[in-house]
A and B are shown apart, each in its own frame.
Chain A
Amino acid sequence: MILRELSELPGVSGDEHRVRARLWEAVRDRVDGGRVDALGNLITWKGADRPGPKVMIAAHMDEIGLMITRIDKDGLLRFRKVGGIDDRVLAAKAVRVGPDGIPGVIGLKPIHLLKDNEAKKAVSHEELYIDIGAASKEEAERVVRPGMYATFATAFGELGDGLVKGKAFDDRAGCALLVELLALDFPFPVYGVFTVQEEIGLRGARVAAYDVAPGLALVLEGTTCADTPGTDPHGQSTLLGHGPAITVMDATHIPARPLVDGLVAAAESAGIPWQWKRTTFGGTDAGSIHLTRAGVPAATVSVPCRYIHSPCAFMSLRDFENTRRLVAAFLEDVPRVAERLAQGSA
């Protein structure tokens, strides 16, 4: 399963090259061509000279993670967060540091030594450090330099009834979906774009969309799934196992209605379970793409991922497969969707 490999590869924003290499290997025989742009996006295409709207399908390669900023004299590594991470998930987690994947642990005081109120407070990431077992600054510097990235050291695994666990499903799930979708043939031009630096501001997609200049765009994501205790039903952004989630609005984008309607119609007519995403926080590459050049109609489809942006998320393989089926069904309908888009602006 390519998802396993993609999940376990390190690829924090700005350091996506290993993921990119693996993806290129996976899709090179499925596409007509590909190139890597100046920011590191992998842009692939098939049927570029076919008639019809240029369809861009995007998934981001980068994941949230940490960057080493300083090495203390006792050999401990100080770090900053790259992308949105809740400080509370950091303490005591195993990580891998730098290109060689040096094992480390995010350290904190043991419970025996805590002062009165310390146990009741989350520890800020600024007070945490990564311990790689080095006894001194000099020893640590032999293998680590400031600027190196660290990722959570989480093994991919299967559990429960058709669930998988692992890191970076946001958005390696989208990447794996795109790999599968690029095996299909389309009567119109399709650009499969694996983007960089989504987690720190939808950056790669912006320049990739400028380059591709698509007629419409679809973004494949791993999204929040808050179906866990303590969340009101209307705060549960998506439900695990209930199918792909279709976005009606987030902080960066209001999807084009003909695309949303097309996605719903495709799901309904193919009998694919689907759900609305119930919250409007966050953003996806669609936020950048739709504002490119003179505007691009865009939409986002997501696979629900419980415990997203943490060391270990859960995803349902049935949701994954249903998302693939939904997007494939939608793509069959693209000529009609394009017609409705054209009517909308007549």
Chain B
Amino acid sequence: MPALYADVDRVEQLIRQLAAAYGPSGHEEPVRALLSAHVAPLADEITVDRLGNLIARIRGQGGPQARRVMLAAHMDEIGLIVTHIDDKGFLRFAPVGGLGPATLLGQRVVFADGTVGVIGAEKLEDVKDLKMERLFIDIGAGSRAAAAQRVQVGSMAVFAQEVAGSGSRLTGKALDDRSGCAVLVEVMHHLRAAAPPHEVYCVFSVQEEVGLRGARTAAYAIAPDMALAVDVTPSGDTPQGEKLNVALGGGTAIKVKDRSLISHPKVRQLLVDTAAEAGIPYQMEVLPYGGTDAGAIHLTKSGVPAGALSIPARYLHTPGEMVDLGDVAATVDLLVAVLKGPLPEMPA
């Protein structure tokens, strides 16, 4: 199905560019720099707050029906943080965000300065002994001093994996949530072309993967009337997969709940009604775990009606995350369609 609004080629190019950038939680500068360049011509104002959130504001037409709407997608990706450098120059690390040891063994990782390393393990008697504390990063340094010239305790690494296309699907690292960031930029293109009635704040947030942190402070500063997070969600359509309703290629996923949020019923209904009316493919997402920025946003100040649109994804938090461009386009389309029209009174 052709997209209503989304320029799919443009979004794909942006996802590829953003996903390639380095940006673990707390060190999102490279992603923020790329995004700033893209959104500067599209926004009325851009600011970076004290935690590093990039906030792009579109003034909107105003009027009696105008609301203040916050959209959020997170810039940060999961990664590793160096906790110790041993005498021989091997790096011990801890996870930044949700990462398991099985995903890591043998992976190539890269630091902010381009230093490349590979993850090795101590000799294990049993695969069950594969624990994070028995892994290390080898950057090819022969000594502590040689390693310390390139890496410090506190340096972070991310997977070294470019995005590759496979049919209508993309696979690579950090599609969580650079694909969401690209969606927001694409939405901004359409809001720039035809100003919405609402004042729209597109927030590219920091530190989602370590606890929905950036969105919390951004929401405090913005104090929106309504908020939508745009993130990825695990799909349940792989062999012997989890029993989840969401399928890759099944359309944008309208979140009902996860562990951080029960979507506001009026927000959810608005999304469902708008999608149905415009013929945008959608599916309902009920996630028994996990969270998104909407979880932090909806508890801000005296409460914010909030929901989330999710891009279905496979193999999350691995170097091979996979999304479908049709789902990405449907997410753009639904956001544009929702922001064009009036928003319901909430909570009445």
Tell me the A residues contacting B by CB distance below 8 Å.
Answer: 232-235, 248-249, 252, 254, 257, 260, 276, 278-280, 290-297, 341, 344-346
Bound CA–CA A294/B49 (angstroms)? 8
A341 touches B50 (CB 8 A): yes
Q: B49 — which chain A residues lie within 8 A by C-beta? A: 294-295, 345
In the complex formed, the residue of A with least CB distance to B83 is: A278
- Which 8 A/B pairs are nearest by Cβ-Cβ distance? A248-B154, A234-B92, A295-B217, A254-B26, A276-B153, A234-B84, A295-B51, A294-B221
The digit string for B210-233, where 1 denotes a CB below 8 A from any CB of A, is: 110110111011000000000000
Sample of 15 A–B contacts (CB below 8 Å): A232-B133, A233-B86, A234-B84, A248-B154, A254-B25, A254-B207, A278-B92, A279-B83, A280-B81, A280-B83, A291-B216, A295-B50, A295-B51, A295-B221, A344-B48
B26 touches A249 (CB 8 A): yes
Q: B133 — which chain A residues lie within 8 A by C-beta? A: 232, 234-235
Q: B220 — which chain A residues lie within 8 A by C-beta? A: 293-295
Q: A296 — which chain B residues lie within 8 A by C-beta? A: 50
Out of A233, A292, A293, which one reaches B84, CB within 8 Å?
A233
Q: A235 — which chain B residues lie within 8 A by C-beta? A: 133
> Interface size of B by Cβ–Cβ distance < 8 Å?
30
Bound CA–CA A83/B200 (angstroms)? 43
B207 touches A345 (CB 8 A): no
Given known contacts A254-B207, A278-B153, is B96 in contact with A249 (CB within 8 Å)?
A: yes
B221 touches A248 (CB 8 A): no
Out of A248, A257, A293, A344, which one reaches B217, CB within 8 Å?
A293
In this complex, which of B96, B153, B154 has the most chain A Cβ atoms within 10 angstroms of its Cβ? B154
Q: B94 — which chain A residues lie within 8 A by C-beta? A: 249, 279-280
In the complex formed, the residue of A with least CB distance to B48 is: A345
A276 CB to nearest B CB, Å: 4
B residues 79-99 with Cβ under 8 Å of A?
A: 81, 83-84, 86, 92, 94, 96
Q: A297 — which chain B residues lie within 8 A by C-beta? A: 50-51
Q: A234 — which chain B residues lie within 8 A by C-beta? A: 83-84, 86, 92, 133
Q: A280 — which chain B residues lie within 8 A by C-beta? A: 81, 83, 94
Answer whether residue B60 sits at the interface, using C-beta atoms and an 8 A cutoff.
no
In the complex formed, the residue of B with least CB distance to A249 is: B81
Answer whether residue B101 sits at the interface, using C-beta atoms and an 8 A cutoff.
no
A296 CB to nearest B CB, Å: 7
A249 touches B211 (CB 8 A): no
A42 CB to nearest B CB, Å: 25
Q: B154 — which chain A residues lie within 8 A by C-beta? A: 248-249, 260, 276
Bound CA–CA A215/B25 (angstroms)? 21
In the complex formed, the residue of A with least CB distance to B81 is: A249
Bound CA–CA A279/B86 (angstroms)? 14
A291 touches B217 (CB 8 A): yes
A294 touches B92 (CB 8 A): no
A290 touches B51 (CB 8 A): yes
Q: A276 — which chain B residues lie within 8 A by C-beta? A: 83-84, 153-154
A218 CB to nearest B CB, Å: 15
The digit string for B49-87, where 1 denotes a CB below 8 A from any CB of A, is: 111110000000000000000000000000001011010
B residues 33-47 with Cβ under 8 Å of A?
A: 47
The digit string for B259-294, where 1 denotes a CB below 8 A from any CB of A, is: 000000000000000000000000000000000000
Out of A249, A278, A345, which one reaches B52, CB within 8 Å?
A345
The digit string for B160-172, where 1 denotes a CB below 8 A from any CB of A, is: 0000000000000
Bound CA–CA A92/B216 (angstroms)? 45
Q: B50 — which chain A residues lie within 8 A by C-beta? A: 294-297, 341, 345
Bound CA–CA A346/B52 (angstroms)? 10
